[in-house]
C-alpha cells in the first residue's frame, strides 16, 4: 500500500512541475521574450486563468504527502525550514504579481510587478531544483529522523552540507533551463506575433543548454547518490523512465525544428515526467536518504501512516482526482487557443 | 526551548490570523454573489448582474490574498510543528489533503470561469460558475474546521506502537460532532462579515449620494442576510458550541467566563477583569445564575470553576481567552441589535433615508472581522496547553530542531510581507469602490510602446 502512495505522490508532484512549470518558465523568460508592456501583458494573460489551479497541485501533493507519509512531511519540511519559507515568500510574490499587475494602468506599477513576477519565477525554478538536489544527495538525519540544514555552509558535499552546495546549485540551474524551455514552448503555443517568434528562437537555443545540463546532471548524480545507478541496474525495467526523458528531449528538438508548437510542448512535458520518474525510481524505497548513517534514512516503510488511513484515503483520492481531472480538461478547453490582446477587455 | 516554543506559536498565530481576514469575506461574499446572480436570473434585470460583477472584482482581489496567504498555513504544520505532524499527520493530513483535492481544484477551476468567462458562459452558465465557487469555498471551510475540530476533540483514532496516532474511522473524523457545530458557528460568522461589508459599502454610497440604486441593493441584500446570520450565530450555533465546550473542555469554559471557583447557580460576567494571580474577577458586572442555565438548562446546576482542575491543565493565557470570548459575544450581541433595527426600518421603508442608521452600518465594517478573529482566538488559545486536546501538549508538538532565531527570521519576514499585502489590498479595494459599479470602458494596452 505504501508503494501505491509513493507512486501517487510522485504523480502529483510531476503534475505540479509540468503544470506550474510552464508558469514559472514563462515568468523566468518574461523580459527575454516580451519587450513592451503590451507584449508582457500577453505573457501574463497566457497563464492568468490557469496559474492558480496549477498551484493547487502543490497544495494537493503536499496534503497527500502529509497524510500518507507523515514522518517524511514532518522531517523534510522542518529540516528544509529556511528554503521552504523562502519558497513560500516567492510563491506569494509570484501570485500577487500576476493578480495585481493589470489592476492599475500606470507604467511604474506595471514595471514593478513585471520585475517581481520575473524574479520570483526564476528563483522558484532554481529553488525547486535545489530542493530536488537535496533530496537526491541526502541530508544529515539524526536517529530520531530529523535534521536541520543551513542555507549554505562551504558549498561542498560532506557531512556539514547546506541547502546550497555545488551539486544542488547545479541541479537548480538544470531545473531553471528545463522550465525556461518549457515556458518558452508554452508561450510559443499560446501567443502570436513577436512573443511567439522570440519564444521559438529562445527555445531552440535553450534546447542545447538543456542537453548539456541533462548529461552533466545525470553523470554527477550517479556519483553523488550511488543508490540511483544501483537501483537501475538491479531493476532494468526501470530504464524505461530515463528512456522517456531521452525520447522527450529528442522529440522536443525534432518538433521545434518543424515548428510544431503543440507537439514540442508535449514533448517537453514528457521530458520533465521522464526525468522526475527516473530520480524517484532510482531512490525507491528511500524517500529521504541520510548522509550521516544509512540506517537513519527515511523509506516508504518507516515514514508511512496507518494502514486503515492509507486504504480509505485511496477511495476518496480516486474520486477526487477524477473530478479534478474533469475540471482541468474543461478549463484548458475553455481557455484553449492563442491569447489575443483584445481579450484583455473581457476579464478585468 | 520554551523560548522557541513561544516564537513558533506566535508564528502560526500571526500568519493564520492575517490569513483568515480574507477567507471569511470570500466565503460570506461567495454566498451573497450567488444571491445577486439568482436575483439577476429571476428578475432578468441587468442591474443585479452589474452589482454581482462589481462584487466579483472585490472578491477576486480578496480571493487572491486568501490563496497566497493560505499556502503557508499548510506548510507550517510541517515546518514549525514537525513532532505534531509526525504523530497526527495520518489523521489530520486526511482532511487537509481532501481540502486540496476536493475544494481547491473545484474552486480554482470555476473561479477562472467566473472571473474571465461571463460572456462565453451565458447567464445560466455564469450563475453555475458562481455557485460552484461558493460550494468550493464552503467545502474548504468544512474540511479546515474538521481538522481543527479533531484537535479540539480527537475522535476515531488509536495509538500505534511508536506513539503515532492512527485513524480508525473516516466518517468518525469527518462527522465529528464538534466539527458540525463549529462549522455552523464559523460559517454564519463568515456570512456576517460578508453581509456587513455589503451593507456598509451600500450605506457609504447612499451617504455620499453616489450610485444610489446600487447602494440600496447592497444595503437591502446585506441587511436581510445579516439579520438571519446574526440571529443564527447566537442560537442555535453559538449555544450548541458552548454546550459542547461545557461537556468536553470544561476548563476552557471556566477560563472564558473568568469563573475561578466551582459554583451552583453560576453567573455570567458582562464585564470585569480576570486577576489570575489572586484568582478573582475585578470590577465584575454579573447576571446571576445565567451561566448555569445556558450550560445545563437549569438555573441552579453546578458549573465547574478553574479550581476543579489542576493548574497545569489551565489555558496558559487566561486573560486572553477571557477577553477574546467577551469581545466576540459582546460584538455578536451588538450585531443582532444593529441588524434587527435595520431590518425593521427596511420593512417600514425608512432605512434608505435614515442617515443615522446608515452611518452605523458604514462604521460597523471592521467589527465582524474583530469578532471572527476573537472567536478563533478563544477556540485556539482556549485549547492550550494542548495542541491535541488531552492527547498532546503544545510544547511536545513543536519542531525542536528549528531554533528561535530561525523562527524569528521567518516571522519577521512574514510580518513585513503581510504589511505590504495589507496596504495593497486596501489600496486596490479602494480603487474599485471609488470607480463604482458602473465603470468606464476597460483599459486595453496599446500595441505601440
Cell numbers for B250: 470544561
CA distance A148 to chain B (A): 6
CA distance B353 to chain A (A): 34
Type and span of the H or E element at B276: none
Task: Say if strands B280-287 and B263-264 run parallel, antiparallel, or are unpaired.
Answer: unpaired
pLDDT in tens, B73-108: 999 999 999 999 999 999 999 999 999 999 998 998
pLDDT digits (tens, 9 = 90+) for B353-404: 999 999 999 999 999 999 999 999 999 999 999 999 999 999 999 999 999 9
The whole-number average pLDDT for the span B114-137 is: 90
Which chain B residues touch A63 with a CB distance below 8 Å?
Answer: 74, 93, 96-101
Could you tell me which residues are beta bridge partners of residue B285? B271
Distance from CA of A57 to the nearest CA of B (A): 8
pLDDT of the residue at B10 = 96
Which of B71, B77, B150 has its CA nearest to residue B399? Answer: B77
Residue A125's Cβ-side half-sphere holds a number of Cα atoms within 13 Å equal to 28
- At residue B283, the 3 state secondary structure works out as strand
Decide if A344 and B106 are in contact by the 8 Å CB cutoff: no
Percent of chain B with pLDDT over 90: 86
- Evaluated on CA atoms B118, B119, B125, B127, the torsion sign reads positive
Average pLDDT rounded to a whole number, residues B168-192:
95
Q: What percent of chain B lies above the pLDDT cut of 70?
A: 97
Q: Which residues of B114-150 are buried (b: 16+ CB within 10 A; e: fewer)?
A: bbbbbeebeeeebbbbbbbbbbbbbbbbbbbbbbbbb
Question: For residue B120, what is the nearest residue in chain A, using CA coordinates?
Answer: A334
Which pLDDT tens digits describe chain A residue by residue (348 residues)? 888 999 999 999 999 999 999 999 999 999 999 999 999 999 998 998 888 888 999 999 999 999 999 999 999 999 999 999 999 999 999 999 999 998 998 999 999 999 999 999 999 999 999 999 988 888 888 888 888 888 888 778 877 788 888 989 999 999 999 999 999 999 999 998 899 999 999 999 999 999 999 999 999 888 888 888 888 888 888 888 989 999 999 999 899 888 888 999 999 999 999 999 998 898 888 888 888 888 888 988 888 888 898 999 999 999 999 999 898 888 778 777 777 765 443 333
The per-residue DSSP string of B223-274 comes to HHHHHHHHHHIIIIIIHHHHHHHHHH-HHHHHHHHT--S-EES--EEEEEEE
Domain chopping of chain B, boundaries: 176-388
Q: Looking at residue B440, what is its pLDDT?
A: 65
* A53/B24: higher pLDDT: B24
The predicted structure's pLDDT at residue A342: 52
Length of chain B: 449
Is-cis flag, bond preceding A285, omega within 30?
yes
Q: How many residues does chain A have?
A: 348
pLDDT band at residue B443, thresholds of 50, 70 and 90?
A: low
Greatest Cα pair distance, chain A, in angstroms, is 60
Searching chain A, which residue's CA lies closest to the CA of residue B409? A82
Element (H, E) at B285: strand B280-287
- Residues 6 or more apart whose CB falls under 8 angstroms from that of A258 comprise none
Residue B220 clears pLDDT 90, i.e. is over it: yes
Predicted local confidence at residue A341, as pLDDT: 62
Name the H helices within chain A.
2-28, 30-33, 37-47, 51-68, 70-79, 81-100, 107-137, 166-190, 193-224, 227-234, 240-257, 261-283, 300-303, 307-334, 344-347
Q: 3-state SS string over A273-315?
A: HHHHHHHHHHHCCEEECECCCHHHCEEHHHHCCCHHHHHHHHH
Task: Tell me which of B199 and A155 has the higher pLDDT.
Answer: B199
Query: From the CA of B229, how many Å to the nearest CA of chain A?
Result: 31
Q: B167, A306 in Cβ contact below 8 A? A: yes
Residues of A in contact with B69 (CB under 8 A): 92
> Which DSSP state fits B142?
H
Nearest to A344 among B97, B170, B445 (CB): B445
Measure the CA–CA gap between B21 and A23, rounded to whole angstroms. Answer: 28
| Grid cell for residue B428 | 486596490
Please name the member of A50, A73, A320 whose beta carbon is closest to the beta carbon of B101: A320
Task: Report the mean per-residue pLDDT for chain B.
Answer: 93
Please count the other Cβ atoms lying within 10 Å of the Cβ belonging to residue A279.
Answer: 23
By CB atoms closer than 10 A (0-12, 13-18, 19+), residue B425 is: buried
Query: Residue B3: its pLDDT value, please?
Result: 85
Give dist(CA B315, CA B255) in Å, integer: 7
Helix (H, G, I), strand (E, B), or coil: what is residue B354? Answer: coil
Residue with the three cell numbers 442560537: B235
H or E stretch covering B286:
strand B280-287
pLDDT at B442 over 60: no
Closest chain A residue to the Cα of B68, Cα to Cα: A92
pTM score above 0.90:
yes
Asked if residues B54 and B437 have their Cβ atoms less than 8 Å apart, the reply is yes
Burial label, A114 (beta-carbon count in 10 A; 0-12, 13-18, 19+): buried
Which residues from A are below 8 Å from B79, CB to CB?
A: 77-78, 80-81, 84-85
What is the Cα–Cα distance from A264 to A187, expressed in whole angstroms?
11
A73, A76, A328: residue with CB nearest B109: A328
For the segment B48-73, the average pLDDT, to the nearest whole number, is 93
CA distance B218 to B204: 10
Using a CB-CB cut-off of 8 Å, the residues of chain A touching B167 are: 305-306, 308-309, 312
Question: Which three three-digit cell numbers place residue A159?
Answer: 557531512
**How confident is the model at residue A347, as a pLDDT?**
37
Closest CA to A306 of B358, B37, B159: B159
Q: Looking up cell 478553574, which residue turns up?
A: B306
Q: Do A331 and B113 touch (CB under 8 A)?
A: yes
Element (H or E) spanning B63, and its range? helix B46-80
pLDDT class of B345 with cuts at 50, 70, 90:
very high
Q: At B246, list the grid cell.
A: 461545557
Say yes or no to pLDDT of B111 above 70: yes
| Residue numbers in A near B449 (CB within 8 A) | 35-38
Report whether pLDDT(B209) > 90: yes
pLDDT band at B449 (very low <50, low <70, confident <90, very high): very low
Residue in chain A nearest B115 by alpha carbon: A347
Residue-wise over A70-106: b if at least 16 C-beta within 10 A, else e? bbbbbbbbbbbbbbbbbbbbbbbbbbbbbbbbbbeee
The DSSP bridge pattern shows strands B386-388 and B392-393 to be: antiparallel
Cα–Cα distance measured from residue B325 to residue B375, given in angstroms and rounded to the nearest whole number? 6
Question: Between chains, do A330 and B109 touch, taking CB under 8 Å as contact?
Answer: yes
Q: What is the pLDDT of residues B271-319, one digit of tens each?
A: 999 999 999 999 999 999 989 998 888 889 999 999 999 999 999 999 9
Amino acid at each position: 500500500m505504501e508503494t501505491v502512495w509513493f507512486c501517487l505522490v510522485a504523480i502529483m508532484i510531476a503534475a505540479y512541475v509540468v503544470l506550474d512549470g510552464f508558469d514559472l518558465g514563462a515568468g523566468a523568460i518574461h523580459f527575454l521574450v516580451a519587450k513592451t508592456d503590451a507584449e508582457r501583458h500577453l505573457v501574463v494573460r497566457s497563464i492568468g486563468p490557469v496559474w492558480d489551479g496549477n498551484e493547487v497541485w502543490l497544495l494537493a501533493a503536499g496534503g497527500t504527502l502529509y497524510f500518507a507519509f507523515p514522518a517524511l512531511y514532518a522531517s523534510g519540511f522542518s529540516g528544509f525550514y529556511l528554503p521552504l519559507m523562502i519558497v513560500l515568500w516567492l510563491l506569494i510574490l509570484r501570485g500577487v504579481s500576476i493578480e495585481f499587475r493589470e489592476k492599475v494602468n500606470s507604467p511604474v506599477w506595471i514595471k514593478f510587478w513585471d520585475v517581481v513576477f520575473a524574479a520570483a519565477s526564476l528563483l522558484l525554478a532554481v529553488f525547486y531544483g535545489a530542493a530536488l538536489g537535496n533530496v537526491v544527495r541526502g541530508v544529515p538525519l539524526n536517529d530520531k529522523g530529523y535534521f536541520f540544514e543551513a542555507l549554505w555552509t562551504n558549498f561542498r558535499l560532506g557531512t556539514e552540507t547546506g541547502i546550497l552546495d555545488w551539486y544542488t546549485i547545479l541541479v537548480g540551474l538544470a531545473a531553471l533551463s528545463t522550465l525556461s524551455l518549457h515556458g518558452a514552448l508554452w508561450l510559443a503555443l499560446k501567443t502570436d506575433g513577436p512573443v511567439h517568434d522570440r519564444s521559438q528562437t529562445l527555445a531552440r537555443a535553450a534546447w542545447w543548454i538543456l542537453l548539456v545540463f541533462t548529461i552533466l546532471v545525470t553523470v554527477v548524480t550517479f556519483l553523488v547518490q550511488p543508490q540511483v545507478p544501483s537501483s537501475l541496474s538491479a531493476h532494468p525495467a526501470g530504464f524505461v523512465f530515463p528512456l522517456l526523458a531521452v525520447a522527450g528531449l529528442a522529440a522536443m528538438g525534432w518538433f521545434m525544428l518543424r515548428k510544431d508548437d503543440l507537439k514540442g510542448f508535449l514533448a517537453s512535458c514528457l521530458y520533465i515526467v521522464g526525468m522526475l520518474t527516473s530520480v524517484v525510481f532510482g531512490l525507491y524505497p528511500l524517500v529521504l536518504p541520510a548522509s550521516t548513517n544509512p540506517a537513519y534514512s527515511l523509506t516508504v516503510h518507516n515514514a508511512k501512516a496507518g494502514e486503515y488511513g492509507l486504504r480509505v484515503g485511496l477511495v476518496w483520492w480516486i474520486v477526487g482526482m477524477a473530478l479534478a481531472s474533469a475540471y482541468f480538461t474543461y478549463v484548458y478547453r475553455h481557455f484553449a487557443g492563442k491569447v489575443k490582446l483584445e481579450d484583455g477587455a473581457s476579464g478585468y | 526551548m520554551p523560548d522557541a516554543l513561544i516564537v513558533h506559536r506566535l508564528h502560526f498565530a500571526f500568519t493564520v490570523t492575517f490569513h483568515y481576514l480574507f477567507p471569511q469575506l470570500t466565503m460570506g461574499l461567495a454566498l451573497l454573489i450567488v444571491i445577486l446572480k439568482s436575483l439577476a436570473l429571476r428578475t432578468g434585470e441587468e442591474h443585479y448582474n452589474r452589482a454581482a460583477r462589481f462584487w466579483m472584482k472585490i472578491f477576486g482581489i480578496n480571493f487572491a490574498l486568501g490563496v497566497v496567504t493560505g499556502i503557508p498555513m499548510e506548510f507550517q504544520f510541517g515546518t514549525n510543528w514537525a513532532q505534531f505532524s509526525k504523530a497526527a499527520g495520518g489523521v489530520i493530513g486526511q482532511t487537509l489533503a481532501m481540502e486540496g483535492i476536493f475544494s481547491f481544484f473545484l474552486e480554482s477551476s470555476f473561479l477562472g470561469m467566473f472571473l474571465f468567462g461571463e460572456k462565453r458562459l451565458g447567464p445560466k452558465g455564469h450563475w453555475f460558475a458562481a455557485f460552484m465557487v461558493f460550494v468550493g469555498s464552503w467545502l474548504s471551510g468544512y474540511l479546515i474546521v474538521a481538522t481543527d475540530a479533531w484537535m479540539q476533540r480527537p475522535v476515531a483514532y488509536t495509538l500505534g506502537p511508536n506513539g503515532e496516532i492512527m485513524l480508525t474511522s473516516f466518517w468518525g473524523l469527518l462527522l465529528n460532532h464538534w466539527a458540525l457545530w463549529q462549522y455552523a458557528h464559523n460559517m454564519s460568522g463568515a456570512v456576517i462579515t460578508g453581509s456587513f461589508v455589503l451593507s456598509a459599502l451600500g450605506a457609504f454610497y447612499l451617504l455620499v449620494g453616489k450610485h444610489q440604486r446600487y447602494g440600496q441593493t447592497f444595503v437591502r441584500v446585506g441587511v436581510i442576510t445579516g439579520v438571519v446570520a446574526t440571529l443564527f450565530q447566537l442560537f442555535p450555533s453559538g449555544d450548541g458550541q458552548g454546550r459542547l465546550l461545557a461537556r468536553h473542555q470544561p476548563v476552557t469554559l471556566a477560563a472564558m467566563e473568568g469563573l475561578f471557583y466551582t459554583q451552583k447557580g453560576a453567573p455570567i460576567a458582562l464585564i470585569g477583569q480576570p486577576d489570575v494571580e489572586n484568582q478573582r474577577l475585578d470590577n465584575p458586572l454579573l447576571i446571576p445564575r445565567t451561566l448555569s442555565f445556558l450550560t445545563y438548562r437549569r438555573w441552579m446546576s453546578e458549573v465547574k470553576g478553574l479550581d476543579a482542575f489542576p493548574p497545569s491543565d489551565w489555558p496558559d493565557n487566561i486573560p486572553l481567552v477571557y477577553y477574546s470570548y467577551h469581545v466576540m459575544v459582546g460584538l455578536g450581541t451588538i450585531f443582532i441589535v444593529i441588524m434587527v433595527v435595520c431590518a425593521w426600518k427596511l420593512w417600514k421603508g425608512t432605512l434608505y433615508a435614515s442617515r443615522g442608521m446608515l452611518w452605523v452600518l458604514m462604521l460597523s465594517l471592521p467589527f465582524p472581522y474583530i469578532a471572527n478573529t476573537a472567536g478563533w482566538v478563544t477556540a485556539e488559545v482556549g485549547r492550550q496547553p494542548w495542541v491535541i486536546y488531552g492527547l498532546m501538549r503544545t510544547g511536545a508538538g513543536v519542531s525542536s530542531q528549528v531554533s528561535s532565531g530561525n523562527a524569528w527570521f521567518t516571522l519577521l519576514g512574514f510580518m513585513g510581507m503581510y504589511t505590504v499585502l495589507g496596504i495593497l489590498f486596501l489600496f486596490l479595494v479602494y480603487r474599485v469602490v471609488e470607480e463604482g459599479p458602473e465603470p468606464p470602458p476597460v483599459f486595453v494596452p496599446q500595441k505601440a510602446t
